[in-house]
Copies of this chain bind each other. A is one copy, B any other.
Amino acid sequence: MLVIGDEILSGRTRDSNMHHLANELTRHGIRLMEARIVADEQADIVAAVNALRARHDNVFTSGGIGPTHDDITADAIAAAFGVPIGHRADAMALLQAHYDRAGLEFNEARRRMARIPDGATLIDNPISAAPGFTCGNVHVMAGVPKIFEAMLASVLPTLTGGDPLLSQSLRVMRGEGEIAEGFGALAAAFPDLSLGSYPFTQNGAYGTNLVIRGTDAAQIDAAMSRLVALYG
């Protein structure tokens, strides 16, 4: 995933789209491999998009597709793919109808949101009409969380997922250092599963959440039985 926006890097806004995407992909059996956050700078966006699209099956971007001068994502995507960009008729029609209904002027700034790289497929925006788009394996979506989430909901069914990632967890009131040896041995015994430990403190006492993740429910059950026998 690529999150685009000065406001995230300055701390003004706390990104929520990455966390939402991570959860939705996990539910669909798709693994989120990495995420990057870059500023509203064309060269940075182009470099990140090209690195990510070469490396992964799908890339999801959020942010920078609105009507203002700092919304440069569509142009950056066109530059990354080396394709022309212009106002597209179907996107213009969607926006014209939206602003007609709202009784608002479809001015030049709003027309910017119909600029779509050549060859892209539009992504429906049921909230504020301005579409996202898919260009190659890159899905370009809005930064406003409600719109990002609505766009993602229409993109996800078009992707091929694997088996959903399942998980079970055990909460133990021991520090990570107490359980690391046995837990590491268990991880080695189940190479197809991913075992993670997440420490916490509660009223001054140390505890750890032990999480077993994988796609095979029977293997997870077997590993969890051994974990409970060790620390339950």
Contact = CB atoms under 8 A, between A and B. Distances in A.
A50 to B, nearest CB: 14
A113 to B, nearest CB: 8
A6 B212 CA distance: 12
B7 A211 contact: yes
Nearest to A48: B34
Q: For A14, A177, A196, which residue has the most chain B Cβ atoms within 10 angstroms?
A: A177
A22 B13 CA distance: 10
Contacts of A14: 16, 19
Contacts of A66: 176, 180, 197, 199
A104 interface: yes
Interface string A41-78: 00010001000000000000000001111100000000
A109 B177 contact: yes
A122 to B, nearest CB: 19
A171 interface: no
Interface stretch (A80-88, A132-140, A181-189, A218-226): A181-189
Contacts of A184: 68-69, 109
Contact of A197 (B25, B68, B107): B68
B180 A109 contact: yes
Copies of this chain, tallied across the complex: 2
23 contacts: A7-B196, A9-B32, A10-B213, A11-B22, A12-B196, A13-B198, A15-B19, A35-B37, A36-B37, A66-B197, A67-B177, A68-B183, A69-B180, A69-B187, A69-B188, A70-B187, A104-B178, A107-B181, A109-B178, A109-B181, A110-B177, A113-B177, A144-B200
Given A14-B16, A34-B36, A69-B187, 13 more contacts: A6-B213, A8-B22, A9-B35, A10-B22, A12-B198, A15-B19, A36-B37, A40-B196, A69-B184, A69-B188, A107-B178, A108-B181, A110-B177
A113 B177 CA distance: 9
Contacts of A179: 68
A165 interface: yes
